[in-house]
Chains A and B, each alone.
Chain A
Amino acid sequence: MPETKHGDKFIVPIGPQHPALKEPGHFEFTVDGETVTGASVRLGFVHRGIEKAAEERTYIQDLYLLERICGICSHVHAMAFALGVEKLAGVTVPERAQAIRVLVAEMERIHSHLLWLGVAAHEAGFDTLFMYAWRDREKVMDLLEQLCGNRVNYSINVLGGVKEDVNDVIRDGILSAMDYLETRTVLYLKLVTTERTLIGRTRGIGIMEKQTAARLGTVGPTARASGLERDIRLEAPYAAYLQYPARIVTEQTGDLEARFIVRVKELYESFRLIRGILSTLPGGELTTKMPRRIPEGETISRVEAPRGELFYYIKSNGSDKPDRVKVRTPSINNFASVMATAVGHKLADIPMILSGIDPCFSCNDRMVSIRGSEGQQAVDWEELRLYGIEYYR
Chain B
Amino acid sequence: MIVTQTEENLEEVQTLLAQLAIAYTRPEENRIDVILPPAKLVEAARIMEDTGFWYLSAITGVDHSSSADTTNEEKAWQRVVEGEEQTGFGYSGVLEALYHFCKGSVVATLRVRMGHANPNLPSICGVVPSASLYERELMEMFGISIEDTPVKDHLLLPDDWPVGVYPLRKDFKGFGQPEVEGGANA
Contact = CB atoms under 8 A, between A and B. Distances in A.
A379 B185 CA distance: 11
A236 B66 CA distance: 33
Contact of A367 (B104, B153, B156): B156
A217 B89 contact: no
A168 interface: no
A372 B155 contact: no
A302 interface: yes
Given A369-B174, A375-B180, A235 B104 contact: yes
A5 B98 CA distance: 49
A313 to B, nearest CB: 5
Interface stretch (B10-18, B70-78, B125-133): B125-133
A300 B130 contact: no
B174 A371 contact: yes
A42 interface: yes
Contacts of A368: 141, 156-157, 167-168
Interface range, B side:
35 or more
A44 B174 contact: no
Interface in B165-184: 167-168, 172, 174-183
Contacts of A203: none
A298 B52 CA distance: 28
Contacts of B20: none
A276 to B, nearest CB: 19
Nearest to A386: B185
Contacts of B63: 324
B145 interface: no
Interface residues of A, number: 49
Q: Which of B105, B176, B177 has the most chain A CB atoms closer than 10 A to its own CB?
A: B105
B58 A313 contact: yes
B55 A298 contact: no
Contact of A44 (B109, B129, B158, B176): B158
A332 interface: yes
B154 interface: yes
Is the contact region of chain A dominated by helix, strand, or loop, or is it mixed?
Answer: mixed
Contacts of A87: 28
A285 interface: no
A375 B186 CA distance: 13
A237 interface: yes
Contacts of B179: 375
A333 B61 CA distance: 17
Interface stretch (A47-55, A109-117, A342-350): A47-55
Given A311-B58, A313-B60, A371 B186 contact: no
B100 A371 contact: no
B113 interface: no
A269 B72 CA distance: 55
A76 B153 CA distance: 31
B164 interface: no
Given A44-B155, A335-B133, A372 B167 contact: no
What 6 A-B pairs come out closest when comparing CB atoms? A375-B178, A236-B105, A328-B58, A44-B156, A368-B167, A326-B60
Interface of B: 2, 27-28, 30-31, 49, 52, 55-58, 60-63, 66, 88-90, 98, 100, 102, 104-105, 107, 109, 128-130, 132-133, 141, 153-158, 167-168, 172, 174-183, 185-186
29 contacts: A44-B155, A44-B157, A52-B167, A52-B168, A214-B52, A235-B105, A296-B89, A296-B90, A297-B27, A299-B27, A300-B28, A302-B57, A313-B100, A315-B89, A317-B66, A323-B66, A324-B60, A328-B58, A336-B133, A365-B156, A367-B167, A368-B141, A368-B167, A371-B174, A371-B177, A375-B181, A379-B182, A382-B185, A382-B186
Interface of A: 42-44, 47, 49, 51-52, 87, 214-217, 235-237, 296-300, 302, 309, 311, 313, 315, 317, 323-324, 326, 328, 332-333, 335-336, 364-375, 378-379, 382
Given A47-B156, A302-B107, A368-B157, 12 more contacts: A44-B155, A44-B157, A52-B172, A87-B28, A236-B2, A237-B2, A324-B62, A326-B62, A369-B174, A372-B178, A375-B179, A382-B182
